[in-house]
Amino acid sequence: MSIDVSDLAALRVERVRAIAGRLRELRGPLLPILHAVQHELGHVDPADVPVIADVLNIAVAEVHGVVTFYRDFRREPGGRATVRICRAEACQAVGAEALAAHATRRLGVGFGETTSDRAISLDEVFCLGNCALGPAVQVDGTLHGRVSPARLDALLGEVATA
């Protein structure tokens, strides 16, 4: 049995509409809805935007503006693993910029992008709350401190093969 792409799109629309409907009564529901869609479906697809706008009875441009303004929202599927590098001042003072440059060279992607094999998404953050142990990196929710380029390579190797 094969599933048609249009069937998958219709299922996604139904799911987005259900998520938005469940949360629309919250005070300031747009951000919680967008976070829930991304959490449940992996990203906020451009096709989700008019569905959310319809449920909330707001302009499509308003939803689009929020999705594109906040870096936390992905507009395409992310990788199987997410690597976040802190770029805040404390981490910069101990080598985060060099680490960030190393990561982008090693993975061949920029921040906010995913490797072509969909193994790793690379993100930048501006504080992981681990300032005393910078440069800090978070790999799939696990925080690592004093990360050198060699340590980053080891972490990337672990998640790429997982």
Residues of the chain with pLDDT under 70: 1-3
- Per-residue pLDDT, 160: 78
User: Against a cut of 0.85, is the pTM above it?
Assistant: no
Listed residue (66, 79, 70, 162) closest to 116, CA to CA: 79
Q: What does CATH list as the number for 81-161?
A: 3.40.30.10
DSSP state string for 47-87: THHHHHHHHHT--HHHHHHHHHH-TT--SS---SEEEEEE-
Encoding tokens for residue 118? Answer: 């969909």
Phi then psi for residue 137, to 5 deg, are -135, 140
Joined together, the tokens standing for residue 92 give 């910069």
